[in-house]
Chain A
Amino acid sequence: MIYLEPRKSVPSWLRVATPFFAIGITIMMGGIIFAALGYDALKALSVFFLSPLSRADQIADLFVKATPLIIIGTGLVFCYRANIWNIGAEGQLILGALGAGWVALSYPDVTSYGLLIPMALAAMAAGALWAFIPAILRVRFSTNEILVSLMLTYVASLLIDYLVRGPWRNPMSFGFPLTPLYPDGGLIPPLLIPGIGRLGQLHWAVPAALVIAIIGGILLRRTLPGFQVRLFGEAPRAAKFGGFQPDRITIAVMLGSGALAGLAGAIEVSANIGQLQPNISFGYGFTAIIVAFLARLNPMAVIAAGLVVALAELGGDAAQISLGIPKVVTGLFKGLLLFMLLAGETWTNYHVKWRSLKA
């Protein structure tokens, strides 16, 4: 039978190289799939991965698309490093959007961007609250945080559905499920490039996302709380002997990742949509899981990983427009990539060996 034997030592270059191998193999497999579907594989791949980078405004849109992934991914890195499995970032994102929306819709006449500050705070509080539920249930009753956080996602999407169709619906929307538009002060302004002006949908939260990931990286590597999180994940017994409190770490990483997911939700609505509608996210909370793993649970690398995954999304649209390749290919690429990453992870840490079974 096949069995896995842990490698005694893993060269550090291999750890760094694994995600690149995974991306490479995914692209090769993608080429084979394109060829099997009857497309010119090289042309399809270049349209998919290179054409979305051919103009400055497209590159700006790539960063816009990656922004929620980077923010959520940074929070998830802390959870996963501590061996806490928050799968419900999607729900926390929705709650964050609701928190910010509640503030924005409560002050329909504000034109000052100062409104964005209470909106961000409300979003982070709401997202953290949603993550607190699985955290406290795990700490108190040893429930499984994977299941609880995942299931709360569905509760969250029903909640926004109810609010947008019911109490928060715009009376002027002809019965359609939309809230009123946010006041001008509640909309994140576009980021104007000197000499060019608007570039794609580039807005001010994009640089903020990069700053968040960098701060996350410093926090995880250079501070005591970061050390506690890492030690708790890698050697929980040692962490206990060291006097760290596992419950506190569990709750802290859940609150932190929930708050960041909530912030991402507020940004997505405030910068790109301008009002609440039944669907605001399209799976960023789930896609960010792939981003966190692609970054090998390193917040700085989350920036690059977020861009790569966003590229797969934009490439899917480009491939449809230029070549008529169906959109499902995008999902296929994401699935392949996660699979290759996990396989690569296993390969990095284990030898695969064969042993005959003897009765």
Chain B
Amino acid sequence: MKSIQFGKWLASSLIAAVAALGMTSQAQAEAMKVGFVYLTNPGDHGWTYAHEMGRQQVEAHFGDKVVTTYVENVPEGPDATRVIRELAKQGNQMIFTTSFGYMDPTLKVSKEFPEVKFDHITGYKRSPNMATGNIRFYEGRYVQGVVAGLMTKSNKIGYLGAFPIPEVIQGINAFAQGLRSVNQDAEISVVWVNSWYDPVKESDAAKVLIAEGADILAQHTDSPAMLQTAEKAGALGFGQSSDMHEFAPNAQLFASVNNWGPYYINQIEKAMDGSWSTGEGPDHWAGNTWKGIGEDYLVLTEFKNMPADVAAAAQAARDGIADGSLVIFKGPMKDNKGNVILKDGEALDDGGLWAMNYYVDGVQGQIPN
């Protein structure tokens, strides 16, 4: 008896579930379905939080023309393949995968679903239906360098790096270019945390840097821990990925905020009107969108805790980058061992940016192998 009733219950709930799913998909038949895959959860207040803000901008912008779904805490491996495929099977017409490690899983699934548009964030592999997008994070770091150079008293700048990958090296070098544009005596010392998100390690590294005399801290890691440590120690610093003002009201000079909304909205609009493209041929950078301050893909928060003239210099640097009059990596430029990288009149192209395996003048030490 019991088991028969249980079976009935099972069957009826299954039918109810299927019917409910069917109804929602019918009601939203007109809307475009867009899926997002997140590495952590939006509560990290860093990387994934910024993507979630972007997704919310998409919902606000398109209203009921778009239905979004996200899956959080997806590890970078076979689970990613399964989740991406599941999103495609559930009828999502466009899928954004928001971490570097989703590159191969996204590529694999893109071949199975040629009619679905895939958009991978921060990667370099593409296919006929897989584009890539990234933000010029390093532009904000140049402005940070300008502010640091004008604000430092000890001429020692501490810098937390996650991993010595090109994106992080670009950031350190851009910071150094900004720093040296206003202050020839200041030096950056880099500490590698070997994690994108580890509040305890980030806080410890910040303490060490402050103890060694650094009075300004910058970070290429995701948690607010460094700024919280700076706040307690009376040092200053810059927020990363999202505005961390509330964690360190007296310490945050400004934050570089990853603003994915415009990118997502732009790509979805292109998908709707048929102009979405992944580039052509073997050209390494075709099909990749890489924009920064000028297009509001990177947004700097209000300049705070600094004198008006410093804020004005920061604003000038920001505006220069935005309108293209300020070129961050241009000759004459030397690495920190004295080798000439760029002669007068030369500038780095995107390929050169991604091939950076040196520190420029103003950074101490060498890149770990």
Contact = CB atoms under 8 A, between A and B. Distances in A.
B128 to A, nearest CB: 20
Given A176-B100, A277-B77, A282-B77, A42 B90 contact: no
Interface stretch (A120-128, A221-229, A313-321): A313-321
Interface of B: 10, 13-14, 16-17, 20-21, 35, 41, 69-79, 81-83, 85-87, 89-90, 100-101, 104, 124, 163-166, 169, 194, 354, 357, 369
Contacts of B89: 55
Interface of A: 42-43, 45-47, 50-51, 55, 61, 64-65, 161, 165-166, 174-177, 200-201, 268, 272-274, 277, 279-280, 282, 314, 317-318, 320-322, 324, 326-328
Contacts of B81: 201, 272
B69 A64 contact: no
Contacts of B83: 317, 321
Contact of A175 (B69, B104, B166): B166
A46 B77 contact: no
B17 A279 contact: no
Contacts of B74: 317
A46 B17 contact: yes
A45 B41 contact: no
Contact of A268 (B78, B100, B104, B354): B78
Contacts of B35: 321
Given A174-B124, A176-B100, A273 B87 contact: no
Contacts of B69: 321, 324
B71 A320 contact: yes
A55 B324 CA distance: 53
Contacts of B86: 317-318, 321
Contacts of B71: 317, 320-321, 327
Contacts of A175: 163-166, 169, 357
A317 B101 contact: no
A282 B75 contact: yes
Contacts of B21: 322
B275 to A, nearest CB: 28
Contacts of A177: 163, 165
Contact of A201 (B78, B104, B166): B78
A111 B90 CA distance: 36
A55 B169 CA distance: 46
Given A201-B78, A280-B77, A274 B17 contact: no
Given A165-B163, A176-B100, A277 B73 contact: no
B82 A161 contact: no
A272 B14 contact: no
Interface centre among B14, B17, B21, B163 (most CB of A within 10 A): B17
